[in-house]
Copies of this chain bind each other. A is one copy, B any other.
Amino acid sequence: MDTPPKTARIPRATIQRLATYIQVLENLARDGTEIISSTPLAEACGVNGSQIRKDLAYFGEFGIRGVGYNVTSLIAAITSALDVNREWRMALIGVGNLGKALLNHSDFKERGFNIVAIFDCDPFKIGEVVHGLEVHCTKEMPAIVAENNIEIGIITTPPERAQRAATHLMNAGITSILNFASARIKVPEHVNVEYVDFFHHLYALAFNQNKLFAKN
């Protein structure tokens, strides 16, 4: 029952699926389901049953043989394994259309991902208040990041400014970056970047509309 220190490298695909499992499990919990076994859960998630059991095995044993998984405690187990059962404080850089849209997207805060400071390099924007937050100059970033225990940076600048924004974030000590800008950024080994790009998904749909590709 204790979580064994499995030191194996965990595939990125597993992390992505765990996020899906949380999503589906939360919807099950809302509908009042208390127990679920791997096969129906797998079907709801669009994956194989063995896959779920193997993914969970990286972190410990959470089920009961012959019975299944308790929905609530499995959610707790996964969120704990991913370390997303606590507050994460974030900074956003680039207060344009997209940035403002994200600030109004209250789901972040509800899930513990809290945008607590926003930055821009446009002098006309500095001082403006968006969704209760004052726009700061990027020069102030190191101090504000340290004061507020900010661990994640969100880039919502135009593509040509993305690299500079990343540099600002890294200089302020941030090692986790969520990049909405349409550009790849160069970072040292220890910094982690996640890219969000709607067009990647649209391209997949467009291509698939004609010629089928391998379904994963």
Interface residues of A (CB under 8 A from B): 9-12, 15-16, 18-20, 22-24, 27, 30, 44-46, 81-84, 88, 97-98, 101-102, 104-108, 111, 113, 151-152, 159-160, 175-178, 182-184, 192, 194-216
Once the chains bind, are B203 and A18 in contact (CB under 8 Å)? yes
State A213–B6 Cα separation when bound (angstroms): 12
Closest 6 CB pairs of A and B: A101-B101, A194-B201, A176-B205, A19-B200, A9-B214, A10-B213
B contact residues around A82 at 8 Å (CB): 203, 206-207
Q: With A46-B184, A194-B205 known to touch, is A15 a contact of B175 (CB < 8 Å)?
A: no
Assembly CA distance A204 to B97 (angstroms):
25
Q: Could you tell me if B84 and A206 are in contact, using CB atoms closer than 8 angstroms?
A: yes
Of listed A88, A111, A206, residue having the most chain B CB within 10 A: A206
A44 to B111, CA, bound (A): 33
A18 to chain B, nearest CB (A): 7
Minimal beta-carbon separation of A170 from chain B (angstroms): 14
Q: Hey, which chain B residues are within 8 Å of A22, CB to CB?
A: 203
CB A202 to nearest CB in B, in angstroms, measures 5
Q: In the complex, given contacts A20-B195, A27-B182, what are 11 additional A-B residue pairs having Cβ atoms less than 8 angstroms apart? A: A12-B216, A19-B199, A23-B183, A23-B197, A84-B207, A88-B206, A98-B105, A108-B198, A113-B199, A178-B201, A192-B204
